[in-house]
Amino acid sequence: MRALATAILLAASVSAWAAAPTRIEAEYQLTNRGLNIGRMTETYVRTGDTYEIRSVSRSEGVLKVLFDEQITLQSTGRVSAEGLQPLRFEERRTREPKRNVEADFDWERGLMRSRFRGEVSGHALPPATQDRISMMYQFMHVQGGRGNLTLSMSNGRKIELYTYRLVDEPRIVTPAGEFDTQHYERVTSKSNDRHVEVWLAKSHHNFPVRVILDDPRGLRVEQILVALRIE
């Protein structure tokens, strides 16, 4: 019986992996307390057992006048029944290239190598760690429910543990349409922890349709979906 149960679970995981999208194109509006500050476009492509994600954020409105910036995040790696496994992460800035970050994930050695401001550092790599952009796409491979979701996440310079708790399951309206969602928020324990809330569309592979990021320094950024294409 135990062998049969294991086989069923394995088959379910493989089936879910096979049914996952091969291409996603998304666009978000970025706001700060209701004021438009930018636009984000993202592309996710899965080819066999590999993936590539590219996210480009550009300043708009008042922020463009005060601080014209473009930030590009790129993640490449493998796809398995457990989800995404990053191999390389990059963050590029046009205005402040000195803040560019590169990270390589060496899963065999359990080590992340980071390059920032000309320095190279090594960090212990916990199993199933995601990077800043792959984390949002890993939700496609996570079974939601009443319990907490715990994931390790790297910004390319360090690795932190993120625990999310389910808040509610509202139906929300976005410029891209209405979605039945699961609303999660990050459980924080320190004053300098970044507060994160995310709304995942249940009938669209748990894709994030709304995200709120509260920086400890007081910057509040909301991402709201304005266009989505899934293949």
| pLDDT computed for residue 4 by the predictor | 33
Q: Sketch out the chain's domains with CATH numbers.
A: 21-230 (2.50.20)
Digit-coded pLDDT (tens) for 70-85? 999 999 999 998 999 9
Confidence of residue 15 (pLDDT cuts 50, 70, 90): very low
Helical (H) or strand (E) element with 2: helix 2-19
Among 189, 190, 187, smallest CA distance to 198 is for 187
188-225 per-position pLDDT tens digit: 888 788 899 999 999 999 999 999 999 877 789 999 99
147-196 tens-digit pLDDT: 789 999 999 999 999 999 999 999 999 999 999 999 999 998 887 888 99
Please give the Cα distance from 182 to 60 (Å, whole number).
29
pTM (2 d.p.): 0.88
Adjacent-strand bridge partners of 202: none
Closest CA to 91 of 115, 125, 127: 115
